[in-house]
Amino acid sequence: MFGCWGACGEKIRVQDQSGESSTFYIRDRLDQGGFSTIELVSSSHGRLPYVLKRMICHSHIDEDKALREAQLHLNLPSHPNLLPCFGVARKPLLNHPQGALSQVCMILQYAQQGSLQSQLDRNRARENAFSSRLIARLMMGICEGLLVLLSLNVPLAHRDIKPGNVLLFDAWRPTLMDFGSCTPAEFAAENCSMTYRAPEWFQPPLGQSITERADIWSLGCLLYALYFFESPMDKVHARGDSVALAACSANILFPSDSLSK
């Protein structure tokens, strides 16, 4: 089931919401970015696959941000449209080649089907559009996940809704992930993907705070992508034009050659 390379066999101990510890073993590396890696792991209690997300922290600010994301994710209520987090850990890094201070680790559910963005890319290459019925089903699940965030005692906005932050599980069940942009606002403005970013992030209203309603714009861009395989701002960005200007003027064009039915 697993390939084995890199740090295969390395042990990671994490604590769940109740403080109970569990051990996981690295099996394979799935993806690597500038500040994080995604690895396939298995529990010491069985061979069921999980995902380990390591966030590499080069400063105390990075560490605080990563710990905030990890604890927020760990404490989210259980819901079929929110990716569950099974445990977190902080591990100091000694003599790191890039001078990193520590790593914050999260154990997450493994999605064999991958992300909604990956599925969109495959469908686009095959010219195989989603049906309107499936699009409605996907949007319903994503909205259900958002509703949970908005119904918390302290409501949360996701602030980075996009196909790449939606994982697909059995029977096309969409699951929101990556809660690193969920407040505070300064992190959201920095991390929210430009072509899905609400106008108020480009041009904050004077004397007013940016609320959870900013997610609605991103949700609309995602709906557009389900029909047309890209955000309404992707072509603007590809031309080198101002995404901020296009978003703030609500200059949205709808292609006439949609494949969706």
Please identify every residue annotated as catalytic. Answer: 160
Residues 15 and 70 sit within 8 Å (Cβ to Cβ)? no
DSSP string, 55-69: EEESSHHHHHHHHHH
Residue 254, C-beta contacts closer than 8 angstroms, at least 6 positions apart: 228
What value, to the nearest 5°, has the Cα angle with vertex 91 and ends 85 and 95? 145
Using an 8 Å Cβ cutoff, are 211 and 157 in contact? yes
Q: Before 184, cis peptide (omega within 30)?
A: yes
Q: Which residue type does 41 have?
A: V
User: How far does Cα 86 stand from its chain's mean position?
Assistant: 16
The alpha carbons of the chain give a radius of gyration, in whole angstroms, of 19
For residue 40 the two structure tokens come to: 């396939």
As given in the structure block, the two tokens for residue 68 are: 């905030």
| 1: its two tokens | 């089931």
- Residue closest to 13 by CA, chosen among 1, 23, 25: 23
